[in-house]
Structure 1
Amino acid sequence: MYQGKNFSERAGIFINLLLPVLVYQVISYSSGMIGTFMAGHYSSTDLAGVSMGVNIWNPIMYTLNAIVLALIPIVSQLIGKNKEEDIPTVVRQFLYIAVIISIILVIGLNTLATPIVDRLGMDSSIAEITKKYLFYESFGVLSIFLYVVLRSFIDSLGLTKLSMIMMIISVPINVFFTYSFIFGKFGMPELGGAGNAIAVSVTYTVLFFIALFLTLKHPKINKYKIFERERVKFKYWKEIFKLGIPIALATALETVVFSTLSLMVSRFDTTVIASHQAALNFSGFLYTLPVSVANAATIIIAYHVGAKDFKMAKYYTVLSVILGMCSSSIAGIIVLLFDKKIPYLYSNDSGVINLTAHLLLFAIGFAICDSFASALAGVLRGYKKVVPICVVMFVGYYLVGIPCAYYFVFKMGIGIEGLWIGWIIGLAVYALGVLFYYLYMRRGIKKKINLAN
């Protein structure tokens, strides 16, 4: 499994695993973009309101989701260690944890969303849309978390094509309900941009049932008998949270900094907010390339680390970084070729279109730094070295990125461009930190191998 005699064979293995992950990520993010497009064409106010809702929702959801994503390296290493008999119990514990997290999040959204939004000082019309968006998101929380557990389990078995197929099936469902709830079509209520949140909830509910069907019926998955009854076993929770909490913390650091920087512009006018969010949304789409490389790297590296084949893990690390940098080149070419056309996806307002086109140029620097850092972070997750990721991310984002952005925007008066410049500087520091830690870790591994020999 995941072996390769030379570079070309290893590249073929990696790409065979990567492509379904990439298609999944692109479609998944594109589904969110569709809702943003439709909200923008409904009105600029709805685009701004939904974007603010996303900036509050994403840090919370992605952070808690990251805990259950720890399933991938744990299961992949168990397979590498030939301890597959432990896999069913581990997955069941993740399902229990997902239910508990979902309950807490639903209660939190329905009690804290309104006071949080009120404290941001947004325009009242934008704030009202944001509140509705967060309320509607709570409808699908349980489905989202249970689906993520099952999908992560499927991916950890190397069956990434199944995840891709599920996401492809979800596209027409998402488009139909997004259009229906935003514009009030096909008998649905006209909810404006906030209707996108209901569409997301419905879509993930369907995805959960598809994943459930595959888990029960697919011969390579149902042999694990995941849904046999078993009590909660807290002894497994120690490893789950030991790995899951740092991954969640790293995710929180990443998503919160993006949202913090975006919320800095919440006091600007609607045109600036909408333009920034449009450019940020498309940058997120470009990010699906390196994040797919990182996810594939985690699966392969974790397997070889579990098998103690560190030499092969090193080969795949180099391959991951190469593919990550290739992805940044692709992202830069896309922006340069379509810089003047991309903004029309989000709005018909000339002010929003012109400013979005300008901000998209900063996305090139964003992509270069992020691609390199993401690839190595995926490798480190495969080694279960997640705490160092948190440390260097905190330094890069919070001790460098946010202060630089604040200084450029509010002290030097550069405006929205200053926010993006500070952001890129923080990303560059993070990328260098991840690289230095990986090199340090590799030296330690070499010493252990030499002593063993």
Structure 2
Amino acid sequence: MYQGKNFSERASIFIKLLLPVLVYQVISYSSGMIGTFMAGHYSPTDLAGVSMGVNIWNPIMYTLNAIVLALIPIVSQLIGKNKEEEIPTVVRQFLYIAVIISIVLIIGLNTLATPIVDQLGMDSNIAKITKNYLFYESFGVLSIFLYVVLRSFIDSLGLTRLSMIMMIVSVPVNVFFAYSFIFGKFGMPELGGAGNAVAVSVTYTVLFFIALFIVLTNPKINKYKIFEKEKVKFEKWGEIFKLGIPMALATALETVVFSTLSLMVSRFDTTVIASHQAALNFSGFLYTLPVSVANTATIIIAFHVGAKDYKLATEYTKLTVIMGMILSSIAGLIVLLFDTKIPYLYTNDSGVITLTAELLLFAIGFAICDSFASALAGVLRGYKKVVPICVVMFIGYYLVGIPTAYYFVFKQGIGIEGLWIGWIIGLAVYALGVLFYYLYMRRGISKKIKLAK
């Protein structure tokens, strides 16, 4: 499994696993983008309201989601160690954890969302849309986390094609309900931008039931019998949280900094907020390319680390960096060629279109930095080396990125462009930090390879 005698064979194996992951990520994000497009065409105010809602929701959801995503390297390493009999217990414990996380998050969203939004000092119309968006998101929380557990289990077995198929099936569901609830079509209430959150909740509920059907019926998966009764085993939770909490912390550091910088924009006018959200939304779409490479690397490298085949793990690391650079170069080229066309996907407002086109050029800097940062972060997760990611991310984002952005925006008066410049500088520092740590870690890996020989 994931062997490869030479570079071309390894590249073939990597790409075969990568393509479904890439299609999944692109379609998943594109599906969300469609809702953003619709909100933007409904009104710039709704686009701004959805933007603020996303910037509050994403850090919370992705952070807690990262705990559940720890299932992938844990299960992949168990397969590499030939300890597959331990997999069912691990997956069951993740399901229990997902339920607890969901309950806490639902309560939190319905009690804290309104006071948090009120403290941001945004326009009252935008604030109302943001509150409604967060309220409707809470309906799909349990489905989201249970689905992520099942999908992560499927991916950890190398069956990434099934995840891709699930996401493809979900697209028309999301588009239909987003259109229906935003514009009030087919007998649905007209909720404006907040209707996008209703569509997300419905879509993930459908995805959960599809994933459940696959896990119960696919012979490569149902042999693990993960739904047999088993008590909570807190000793297993220790192993899960040992990896999951640092992964959650790394995700929190990343998503919170993006949202913090975006919330700096909340005091600008509607045109700036909408332009920032449109540019950020498309940059997030491009980010799916290096993230797909990183997720693929985690699966493959965790397997080889579990099997103690450090030589192949090192070879796949090189391949990971190369693939990350190739895809990020493609992302940069897309922006260069279509920066003046992309804004029309989000709005017809001339002011928003002009500013969005300018901000999109900064996405090229994102692509360059991500080619190293995301790829190597995926490699380190395969080794279960998550704490170093947190450290260098904190330095890059919080000690460099946020202060620099704040200085440019509020001290130098550069405006929204200054925020993006500070953002990229922080990301560059993070990328260099991850690279330097991997080079340091590789010295120890080289010694293990020599001892193995």
Q: Same-fold call, TM > 0.5? A: yes
User: Residue 135 of structure 1 aligns to which amino acid in structure 2?
Assistant: F
Match for residue 282 of structure 1?
282
**What is the deviation of 1:448?**
3.8
**What is the deviation of 1:372?**
1.2
Match for residue 391 of structure 1?
391
Q: Is 1:33 paired with 2:36?
A: no
Q: Is 1:265 paired with 2:271?
A: no
Match for residue 428 of structure 2?
428
* More displaced stretch, 108-117 vs 324-333: 324-333
Alignment of 1:252-331 (within 5 A): 252-331=252-331
Match for residue 367 of structure 2?
367
Question: What TM-score does the superposition give when structure 2 sets the normalisation length?
Answer: 0.99
**What is the deviation of 1:450?**
3.8
| 2:137–2:201 CA contact under 8 A, matched in 1 | yes
| 2:310–2:449 CA contact under 8 A, matched in 1 | no
Alignment of 1:13-412 (within 5 A): 13-412=13-412
User: Residue 6 of structure 1 aligns to which amino acid in structure 2?
Assistant: N
Q: State the distance in 2 between where 1:71 and 1:303 align.
A: 13
Q: State the distance in 2 between where 1:265 and 1:147 align.
A: 33
Aligned-partner SS, 1:38:
helix
User: Residue 318 of structure 1 aligns to which amino acid in structure 2?
Assistant: K
**What is the deviation of 1:406?**
0.3
**What is the deviation of 1:319?**
0.3
Instruction: Give deviations 1:158-188, integer Å, cap 9, x for gaps.
Output: 0000000000000000000000000000010
Aligned-partner SS, 2:194:
helix
Q: State the distance in 2 between where 1:171 and 1:116 align.
A: 31
Q: State the distance in 1 between where 2:266 and 2:395 align.
A: 25
**What is the deviation of 1:370?**
1.5
Aligned-partner SS, 1:174:
helix
Q: State the distance in 2 between where 1:146 and 1:49 align.
A: 28
Q: State the distance in 1 between where 2:330 and 2:451 align.
A: 43
| 2:249–2:390 CA contact under 8 A, matched in 1 | yes
Aligned-partner SS, 1:315:
helix
User: 1:452–1:317: structure 2 CA closer, same or farther, 3 Å change rule?
Assistant: closer
Aligned-partner SS, 2:229:
coil
Q: State the distance in 1 between where 2:198 and 2:363 align.
A: 30
Q: State the distance in 2 between where 1:129 and 1:348 align.
A: 20
**What is the deviation of 1:452?**
5.9
Quote the RMSD (CA, aligned, Å). Answer: 0.7
Instruction: Give deviations 1:102-155, integer Å, cap 9, x for gaps.
Output: 000000000000000000000000000000000000000000000000000000
Instruction: Give deviations 1:270-295, integer Å, cap 9, x for gaps.
Output: 00000001000000000000000000
Q: State the distance in 2 between where 1:110 and 1:360 align.
A: 35
User: Residue 17 of structure 2 aligns to which amino acid in structure 1?
Assistant: L
Unaligned runs of 5+ in 2: none
**What is the deviation of 1:69?**
0.0
Aligned-partner SS, 2:385:
coil
User: Residue 426 of structure 1 aligns to which amino acid in structure 2?
Assistant: G
Q: State the distance in 2 between where 1:44 and 1:162 align.
A: 37
Instruction: Give deviations 1:61-108, integer Å, cap 9, x for gaps.
Output: 000000000000000000000000000000000000000000000000
User: Residue 357 of structure 1 aligns to which amino acid in structure 2?
Assistant: A
Q: State the distance in 2 between where 1:344 and 1:324 align.
A: 28
Q: State the distance in 2 between where 1:449 and 1:3 align.
A: 16
Aligned-partner SS, 1:140:
helix
Instruction: Give deviations 1:368-411, integer Å, cap 9, x for gaps.
Output: 10221000000000000000000000000000000000000000
Unaligned runs of 5+ in 1: none
**What is the deviation of 1:259?**
0.3
Deviating 4+ runs (over 6 angstroms): none
User: 1:5–1:449: structure 2 CA closer, same or farther, 3 Å change rule?
Assistant: closer
Q: State the distance in 1 between where 2:16 and 2:177 align.
A: 32
The alignment covers a number of residue pairs equal to 453
**What is the deviation of 1:367?**
1.1
User: Residue 420 of structure 1 aligns to which amino acid in structure 2?
Assistant: W
Q: State the distance in 2 between where 1:368 and 1:116 align.
A: 35
**What is the deviation of 1:451?**
4.9
Q: State the distance in 1 between where 2:354 and 2:452 align.
A: 61
User: Residue 25 of structure 1 aligns to which amino acid in structure 2?
Assistant: Q
Q: State the distance in 2 between where 1:325 and 1:253 align.
A: 24
Q: State the distance in 1 between where 2:330 and 2:16 align.
A: 19
User: Residue 239 of structure 2 aligns to which amino acid in structure 1?
Assistant: E
**What is the deviation of 1:449?**
4.1
Question: What TM-score does the superposition give when structure 1 sets the normalisation length?
Answer: 0.99
User: Residue 185 of structure 2 aligns to which amino acid in structure 1?
Assistant: K
**What is the deviation of 1:442?**
1.0
| 2:405–2:419 CA contact under 8 A, matched in 1 | yes
User: Residue 355 of structure 1 aligns to which amino acid in structure 2?
Assistant: L
Q: State the distance in 2 between where 1:70 and 1:19 align.
A: 21
User: Residue 436 of structure 2 aligns to which amino acid in structure 1?
Assistant: F
User: Residue 260 of structure 1 aligns to which amino acid in structure 2?
Assistant: T
User: 1:451–1:5: structure 2 CA closer, same or farther, 3 Å change rule?
Assistant: closer
Q: State the distance in 1 between where 2:10 and 2:370 align.
A: 24
**What is the deviation of 1:445?**
2.1
